[in-house]
Amino acid sequence: MPHFHIPLQSGSDEILSLMKRKYSTKLFEHRVEHIREKVPHAFIGVDVIAGTNGETEKLFQESYDFINGLEISQLHAFTYSERSGTQALKIPWKVDKEDRKRRTQMYINLSEKKLRSFYEKNLGTTQTVLFEAQKNGESMSGFTENYIKVKTDFDENLINQLKKVKLKSIFTNGHVEIDTIV
């Protein structure tokens, strides 16, 4: 399946160092580029934490800018919360809870922009979809192998079936409309 889920935590090398992570933004960027070279239409989801201890506004902006520059598909943004026994508790400089929420929302907004861009790059392509049994009014949905949520008219014969489809357009709710089932 061309679907990757990679934890980044922060796009700031200083924060990664404070968190005792054993990778850098350069290594992470290289890995994303490598995936894109090998599997151009792969879905790449990335975990990021907003407002960890030590994350000044400058370091948050550095992280945000780094992530914005990556060719990823979606962010899984989490608001930092204290957990006993973690390295982060030893880091001085606590981020105000309102700033944590604001930063998380900025990542969520960026994620929505990146997801839409990923969907747009896949429009016009033919993908394999596994259709789900859920009936939502007169429609049903499923996911492509690279994790694009598609929607089509309900057809009982499609339930739990793998079908090739051509992706047509993006609905306002973010699902992708199918042009044809091949």
Q: Is the pLDDT of residue 36 over 90?
A: yes
Q: Is the pLDDT of residue 82 over 90?
A: no
Encode pLDDT of 117-131 as tens digits: 999 999 999 999 999
In the chain, ranges of CATH 3.30.750.200 domains: 3-122
CATH number of 3-122: 3.30.750.200
Q: Can you say whether the dihedral through the CA atoms of 49, 42, 71, 117 is positive or negative?
A: negative
How far CA 94 is from CA of 53, 56, 155, in Å, comes to: 5, 9, 53
Reported pTM: 0.90
For residues 75 and 54, what is the distance between their CA atoms, to the nearest angstrom? 21
Pair 12, 59: CB distance under 8 Å: yes
For residues 131 and 154, what is the distance between their CA atoms, to the nearest angstrom? 10
Encode pLDDT of 46-56 as tens digits: 999 999 999 99
Q: Is the pLDDT of residue 86 over 90?
A: no
